Structure 1
């Protein structure tokens, strides 16, 4: 008996999922530069986050590919040119204390607010990592039912690195993929072997968060080298909107991720 066509994967590949995903990644390079501005519920409206619209303006002016924010800040997208930005909505979070995230908004709410993708976060090695992973797995299932790509943010806690060594970074990325990530946001050290291992251990794009922990390493140099090793882009918040010249900072990051295609 001939097998039946797999309708669900076809819908995901050619329907809303594909349309939304292509708004997040450059059709020219296949990479992405995301400007997150979801930090204020933890760090407060300070350090460049006082006015979310100015962050959106910097993302537009610097030609970022996407922004990540929370559903309540959708009004900040009423900026000329923001219609070309991909929109990722962070649905998990924490306040000023603690480590682990909880689910704050639903996938349905994000979809109703024109999200192109949704994001959930967990820390590998934290006390609540298993429960957070379960929450994100359920979030990913629902998002895929609605045709929404899923970004999973995962950070390897020092406890995990002490226990597992350098392999903790690739382990964390693999967990993110296996619970439903279509792309992964993580922080990695400036170590080619670790970056290469993470890329080779997953089949979805990895975007780097925040830059190298070593302040002596130039962020744009680090990103350029990581992209050449197969990294799929970057998600940089503080080092963009807290810069003295945010538009120029975003443009420099875009060039580091995509090469010289925006040097016009």
Structure 2
């Protein structure tokens, strides 16, 4: 099982900058993490639940999330009470409303100055620009690791990759992310035990699930519990957390599912 306690921090670097910062992102009790991303507004616009970023941070604190993912300019929103206990992942690549491929928007050095515990870059396996995006992330990872900063790589398997490779595309995408420098892989997977198992077995870094299963009829908390049982290292849930009618309760339930606990309302 590739949770943090098994392979995310190796003995030789458990107490260097990389290991110390990774421990800020994952629960010391379970080796898993619930991350709340709120880096969507440059693409989606500041609506649909993103209007008040500080309220999302407050909900993450009260709901017992482990970390948040946001953009460097929004670090000021972490000034709410209790946010000092959250891991900080800063997304450095992005796009606007058009296209699918990312460019580098902020530097690793700037993220470090903004107190990042980790940095994030994204690519989409099978997109027209996937090779260039992989190169951008590989360079980002090199710079981050020289500064002791962990790297979370977000990767999604595009229809083009799935058409060509079938379900093997999911594990292939995760392995690409690891090989170009990911310490944590964030990806979206279907509710298919064989696919999840293949991804876990094909990587040696924690995988966190993004967004939940594509099929909205699947209960998200049940899905996460099953995935955790297969060795998934956590989840990164944005819209289905902060856009919920009761965000604190939604996050609390997701945290309980990730950490194998009962939600306390």
Q: Please indicate the TM-score interval, normalised by the length of the shorter structure.
A: over 0.9
Q: Distance in 2 between matches of 1:87 and 1:197?
A: 29
Report the TM-score, using the length of structure 2 for normalisation: 0.94
Provide the rounded CA distance (Å) in 2 between the counterparts of 1:197 and 1:11: 27
8 Å Cα contact 1:12/1:147 also seen in 2: no
TM-score by length of 1: 0.95
In 2, the alpha carbon distance for the partners of 1:155 and 1:244 equals 27
Contact 1:35–1:66 (CA under 8 A) maintained in structure 2: yes
Which residue matches 1:135?
A: 136
Instruction: Give the Å deviation of 1:14.
Output: 1.9
Report how far residue 13 of structure 1 moved.
Answer: 3.9
- Structure 2 unaligned runs (5+)? 1-9
Partner in structure 2 of residue 96 of structure 1: 97
Q: Where does residue 225 of structure 1 map in the other structure? A: 226
Structure 1 unaligned blocks of 5 or more:
1-8
CA distances 1:115-135 after superposition (whole Å, capped 9, x unpaired): 000000000000000000000
Q: Any conservation in 2 of the 1:12–1:144 contact (CA below 8 Å)? A: no
Whose radius of gyration is greater, 1 or 2? 1
Which whole-Å CA distance do the structure 1 matches of 2:13 and 2:128 have between them? Answer: 34
Maintained 8 Å contact 1:188/1:208: yes
- The two structures, once aligned, show a CA RMSD in angstroms of 1.3
Higher relative contact order by CA 8 Å / sep ≥ 6: 1 or 2?
2
SS, match of residue 24 in structure 2 = coil
User: Which ranges of 4 or more aligned residues in structure 1 deviate by more than 3 Å?
Assistant: 9-13, 261-264
Q: Is the CA contact (8 Å cut-off) linking 1:189 and 1:212 kept in structure 2? A: yes
* Partner SS state of residue 23, structure 1: helix
1:158 shift after superposition = 0.5
Deviation per CA, 1:206-247: give whole Å up to 9, x if none. 000000111110000000000000000000000000000000
